[in-house]
Structure formats: structure tokens, C-alpha cells
Amino acid sequence: QVQLVESGGGMVQAGGSLRLSCAASGTIFGINTMGWYRQAPGKQRELVATISSGGSTNYVESVKGRFTISRDNAKNTVYLQMYSLEPEDTAVYYCNADVYDTAWLHRTNYWGQGTQVTVSS
């Protein structure tokens, strides 16, 4: 069993910055893609950013140029650096990871508990 533990969420004024982190713990052989998703009230959960094991990244159009996803493979941790935050960024942010959790041939998708990001105007 693997757990994803998030930190860094909170409340910030428009134009401010936050850095989210998510550390995977448990029996881990390796981690493939890691990513961040978010869900605002009344909206579907959407992909915000992903990063592959090799460092390739993808972002939803609305955060390009403002958010940066990165990872530290030695720490099994993924980060989301958020600049120029807007009220529209307010949502619960969820960490996601594809983890080789029993062997290199067995991969499982895990979700974090979610952390609230609130951007005030």
C-alpha cells in the first residue's frame, strides 16, 4: 500500500504564490507519471499538470506560464509551484501517481486526500 501526503495548500491573495508538494510513501519500487488535478465547486475534476519519470511535462492551457510541475525521484515527491494565482484557481488540488508498488511489473494508480487552495480577490 502506498500513501500520497500533500502539503502547501492554503489561502493567498490574487497575484500571490503557493508551492504544493506531494510525497509518496510505502512499498515503492518506482514511480512513473505523477500529476496534479483540481476540482472547483460545481465543476468536474480536471488535470492541471503531469510530469513523466523522464521529466516531460504537460499543463492545462489555463495555467501555462504560471504553474510549474517538478519532481524529486530520490524523495518520491512531486511539486507544483504556482505563481500569479487567480480566484479562478480556487479548488481542491489532488496529487496523483502511477506507482510500481509490489514489483517493477505491477503498477497502481494512487490519489492523495486533496488540499484546499483558496485565492481571494
Strands 10-13 and 115-120 turn out to be parallel
**Each residue of 22-66: pLDDT tens digit?**
999 999 999 999 999 999 999 999 999 999 999 999 999 999 999
Cα end-to-end span (Å), the chain: 40
Provide the mean pLDDT of the chain: 97
**Each residue of 62-120: pLDDT tens digit?**
999 999 999 999 999 999 999 999 999 999 999 999 999 998 899 999 999 999 999 99
Torsion, Cα of 31, 33, 37, 43 (10° steps): -130
